[in-house]
Amino acid sequence: MRVLWLCNIMLPMIAEQLHMEASNKEGWLSGLANVVLDRRGENGIELAVVFPAAPGLAQTGAECHVYNGIPVYKGIARTPMGELLWYAFGEDVVNPHIYDEHLEQGLYEITQDFKPDVVHCFGTEYPHTLAMCRVFPHKQRILVGIQGLCRVYAENYFASLPEKVICSRTLRDVLKKDSIRQQQRKFALRGEMEYEAVRLAGNVTGRTAWDRYYTSIWNPEARYFEMNETLRPDFYTQKWRWENCEKNSIFLSQGDYPIKGLHYMLQALPAIRAQIPDVKVYVAGNSIIGDLGPAKRLKISAYGRYLRSLIRRYRLQGQVCFLGRLNAREMKERYLKSNLFVCCSSIENSPNSLGEAMLLGVPCVSADVGGISSIFTDNKDGILYKVHKLSENKFNNTCDEKYNGLSLDEISKNLADSVINILLNKDLINRYSDNARNHAKITHDSEKNYQKMMEIYTEIAGTELSSEKKKESCGAPVSFVFVSNYINHHQIPFCNAMYERLKGSFVFVQTEPMEEERIRMGWQKQDQLPYVKYFYQERELCRKLIAESDVVLFGGTDEESYITERLKAQKPVIRYSERLYKEGQWKAVSPRGLIKKYRDHTRYRKKPVYLLCAGAYVPSDFHIVRAYSGKMFKWGYFPATRHYDVDRLMEQKEPGSILWAARFLDWKHPEAALACAAYLRAAGYSFHMRIAGDGQMRPLVDRLLEEYDLKDHVTLLGYRSPDEVRSLMEKSRIYLATSDRREGWGAVLNEAMNSGCAVVASHMMGAAPYLIRQGENGVIYQNGDQGNLNGIVEALLQDEILCEGMGRTAIGTIECEWNAETAADRLLGFCRGKGFLDGTLREDSRDVSAGEINLRQNIPLAGPCSEAEVIGERKMLWKIRRKAL
Q: Does residue 566 have a pLDDT over 70? A: yes
Summarised one tens digit per residue, pLDDT across range 810-829 is 999 999 999 999 999 999 99
Q: Hey, what's the torsion of the CAs at 294, 296, 298, 302, to 10 degrees?
A: -130
Q: Which pLDDT does position 856 carry in this prediction?
A: 41
The helix (H) or strand (E) run that includes residue 519 is helix 516-520
- ∠ CA 100-105-109, nearest 5°, is 145
| Residue-averaged pLDDT of the chain | 88
The H or E element containing residue 249 is strand 249-252
Q: Looking at this protein, which amino acid is placed at residue 5?
A: W
Q: For 252, which DSSP code?
A: E
Residue predicted with more confidence, 855 or 354: 354
Distance (Å, whole) CA 212 – CA 202: 14
Q: What is the average pLDDT across 105-113? A: 92
Asked if residue 517 has pLDDT above 80, the reply is: no
Tell me the DSSP string of 765-797. Answer: STTHHHH--BTTTBEEE-TT-HHHHHHHHHHHH
CA distances in angstroms from 296 to 172, 287, 292, 310, listed in the order given: 10, 10, 6, 18
pLDDT, tens digit (0-9, with 9 covering 90-100), for 15-24:
888 888 777 6
Residue in 396, 405, 370, 400 with CA at minimum distance from that of residue 384? 370
**What whole-number distance in Å separates Cα of residue 163 and Cα of residue 574?**
77
**Residues 66-90: b if buried by 16+ CB within 10 A, e if exposed:** ebeebbbbbbebebebbebbbbbbb
* pLDDT, tens only, 617-635: 999 999 999 999 999 999 9
pTM attached to this predicted model: 0.55
The pair phi, psi for residue 189, each rounded to 5°, is: -65, -40
Backbone angles phi, psi at 10, to 5 degrees: -75, 130
H or E element at residue 853: strand 853-854
Helix or strand (DSSP H, E) at 471: helix 470-474
Worst-scoring range by mean pLDDT, 145-154, 194-203, 268-277, 386-395?
386-395
**Distance from the Cα of residue 654 to its chain's centroid:** 25
Of 874, 665, 616, nearest to 769 by C-alpha is: 616
Percent share of the chain, pLDDT over 70: 90
| Pairwise pLDDT comparison (69 vs 174), residue with the higher score | 174
For residue 314, the tally of other CB atoms under 10 A from its CB is 17
Position 715 scores a pLDDT of 96
Distance in angstroms (rounded) separating the CA atoms of residues 323 and 251: 10
**First-residue to last-residue Cα distance in the chain:** 45
Question: Which residues neighbour 820 within 8 Å (Cβ) at sequence distance 6 or greater?
Answer: 41, 42, 493, 494, 496, 497, 638, 640, 641
- What confidence tens digit (pLDDT) does each residue in 578-592 have? 998 888 888 777 888
Instruction: Using the predicted structure, report yes or no on whether residue 776 has a pLDDT greater than 90.
Output: yes
Q: Residue 763: name the closest of 863, 680, 660, 874 by CA.
A: 874
| pLDDT tens per residue, range 282-310 | 999 888 886 656 666 778 999 999 999 99
**Interacting residues of 629 by C-beta distance below 8 A, sequence separation 6+:** 605, 623
What is the average per-residue pLDDT within 400-419?
Answer: 81
Nearest alpha-carbon partner for 492 in 532, 550, 519, 456: 532
For the cut 80, the answer to whether the pLDDT of residue 601 exceeds it is yes
Q: Give residues with Cβ within 8 angstroms of 795, minimum separation 6.
A: 802, 885
Largest Cα–Cα separation, the chain: 100
Mean pLDDT lowest for which of 38-42, 428-432, 448-452, 853-857? 853-857
pLDDT digits over 82-95, tens only? 889 999 999 998 89
Instruction: Say what the alpha-carbon torsion angle 78, 638, 486, 484 is, to the nearest 10 degrees.
Output: 110
Is the model's pLDDT at 884 over the cut of 60? no
CB 121 within 8 A of CB 49: no
Average pLDDT on 94-115 reads 92
Of 66-70, 238-242, 626-630, 634-638, the range with the lowest mean pLDDT is 66-70
The whole-number average pLDDT for the span 133-149 is 92
Q: Is the pLDDT of residue 515 over 80?
A: no
